[in-house]
């Protein structure tokens, strides 16, 4: 291997274009140091994409839980609050587990920095977690022994649950969207290039997942808002993903190649199918099978959201490992600047 290997940016792997049209623009060539990566891929393991999914699920579920609380849908409220607690609990586990020194997780609380999305996220979760927790715990009021139910605790808990649930619902969308900034605020080419539309993909995916969970765990007569959230979220996810990819140039390639490419393709299929099943489950004419269709649709949406997060995470890792995605966009930027300075 020569040191300054010049490769064609499209070479090596075939780039699959939507309708098989041939590009009239010559593929960019670039040079690298023995093909070695320039930027480093994040050291994050599966914990982080799992957290991206769980954080979104929690945020969306809190929204659903508060709405159900205010509109008198106790079964939906209960399932959404419990989903939120489970998901945020899983998030905390994943985040601490991924640290190089898990015992030092509280060092995150030493500082608050707007320049660090992870610091901002830490404080959002610190505020959100206990609220989601209290809202879920208040669901246990009915299970308390009779004498406790009449005590101060028993009388106070449902109200506290409503207040906490509303606060969690206010913070939920922030939990779901900040994670897009978390990964976009890096030198990882595909994540950074996706920065404009990634928050919309993430909130769409979060809403679809939360709606899906609502459909799975609540009775049909209360599930209408969950169904709407699921369908609207899935649509937002698919539309935002499309917009995002069209504006990314060469850094969109990792979204279509390798394992991440397969995951993202699966994600789109599952999200589309899930939304269709969820919508079908809302048609009264379907009769007895509505619950089953809704639950299946919800399951597809949850699986789709998981695939979206793992796919986007993996695509970023893949883009960091190939110097092409670092060099080619930077070269284009430099050439654009040169042309702006010295128009031919």
Kindly tell me which of 103 and 152 has the beta carbon lying closer to another protein: 103
Q: Which of 87, 85, 88, 95 is nearest to 46 (CA)?
A: 95
Tell me which residue has tokens 């969970």.
213
Rounded least distance, CB 337 to another protein, Å = 8
Rounded least distance, CB 341 to another protein, Å = 13
Rounded least distance, CB 339 to another protein, Å = 14
Rounded least distance, CB 76 to another protein, Å = 10
Kindly tell me which of 223 and 293 has the beta carbon lying closer to another protein: 223
Kindly tell me which of 226 and 307 has the beta carbon lying closer to another protein: 226
Q: Using an 8 Å Cβ cutoff, are 298 and 213 in contact?
A: yes
Rounded least distance, CB 109 to another protein, Å = 9
Kindly tell me which of 140 and 334 has the beta carbon lying closer to another protein: 334
The HSE-up count of residue 184 (CA atoms within 13 Å, CB side) is 17
Query: What DSSP line would sit under 119-161, residue for residue?
Result: HHHHHHHHHHHHHHHHHHHGGGGGGS-HHHHTSHHHHHHHHHH
Q: Using an 8 Å Cβ cutoff, are 47 and 91 in contact?
A: no
Kindly tell me which of 2 and 288 has the beta carbon lying closer to another protein: 2
Q: Which of 182, 212, 178, 190 is nearest to 57 (CA)?
A: 212
- Pairwise CA distance, residues 17 & 65, whole Å: 42
Kindly tell me which of 60 and 304 has the beta carbon lying closer to another protein: 60
Kindly tell me which of 91 and 177 has the beta carbon lying closer to another protein: 177
Rounded least distance, CB 304 to another protein, Å = 17
Kindly tell me which of 13 and 196 has the beta carbon lying closer to another protein: 196
Cβ contacts of residue 252 below 8 Å, gap of 6+?
190, 193, 245, 246
Alpha helices in the chain (DSSP H): 47-70, 74-97, 117-137, 146-149, 152-184, 189-193, 198-217, 224-246, 258-280, 290-321, 324-341
- Number of other residues whose CB lies within 10 A of the CB of residue 243: 13
Cβ contacts of residue 6 below 8 Å, gap of 6+?
29, 30, 31
Q: Cα dihedral sign for 326, 332, 338, 341? A: negative
Rounded least distance, CB 319 to another protein, Å = 10
Rounded least distance, CB 146 to another protein, Å = 33
């Amino acid at each position: 291997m020569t040191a300054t290997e010049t490769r064609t940016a499209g070479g090596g792997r075939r780039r699959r274009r939507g309708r098989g049209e041939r590009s009239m623009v010559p593929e960019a060539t670039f040079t690298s140091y023995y093909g070695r990566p320039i930027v480093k891929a994040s050291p994050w393991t599966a914990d982080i994409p799992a957290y991206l999914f769980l954080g979104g699920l929690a945020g969306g579920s809190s929204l659903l839980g508060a709405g159900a609380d205010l509109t008198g849908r106790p079964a939906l409220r209960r399932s959404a609050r419990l989903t939120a607690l489970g998901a945020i609990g899983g998030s905390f586990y994943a985040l601490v587990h991924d640290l190089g020194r898990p015992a030092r997780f509280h060092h995150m609380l030493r500082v608050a920095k707007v320049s660090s999305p992870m610091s901002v996220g830490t404080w959002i979760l610190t505020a959100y977690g206990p609220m989601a927790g209290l809202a879920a715990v208040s669901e246990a009021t009915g299970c308390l022994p009779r004498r406790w139910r009449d005590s101060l605790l028993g009388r106070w808990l449902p109200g506290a649950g409503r207040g906490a649930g509303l606060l969690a619902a206010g913070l939920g969308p922030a939990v779901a969207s900040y994670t897009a900034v978390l990964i976009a605020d890096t030198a990882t080419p595909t994540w950074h290039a996706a920065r404009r539309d990634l928050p919309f993909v993430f909130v769409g995916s979060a809403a679809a997942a939360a709606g899906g969970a609502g459909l799975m765990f609540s009775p049909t007569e209360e599930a209408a808002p969950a169904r709407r959230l699921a369908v609207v979220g899935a649509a937002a996810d698919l539309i935002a993903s499309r917009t995002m990819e069209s504006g990314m140039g060469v850094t969109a390639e990792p979204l279509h190649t390798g394992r991440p490419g397969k995951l993202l393709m699966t994600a789109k299929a599952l999200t589309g199918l899930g939304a269709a099943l969820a919508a079908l489950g809302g048609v009264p004419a379907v009769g007895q099978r509505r619950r089953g269709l809704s639950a299946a649709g919800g399951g597809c949406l949850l699986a789709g959201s998981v695939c979206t997060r793992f796919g986007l995470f993996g695509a970023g890792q893949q883009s960091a490992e190939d110097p092409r995605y670092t060099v080619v966009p930077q070269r284009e930027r430099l050439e654009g600047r040169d042309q702006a300075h010295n128009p031919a």
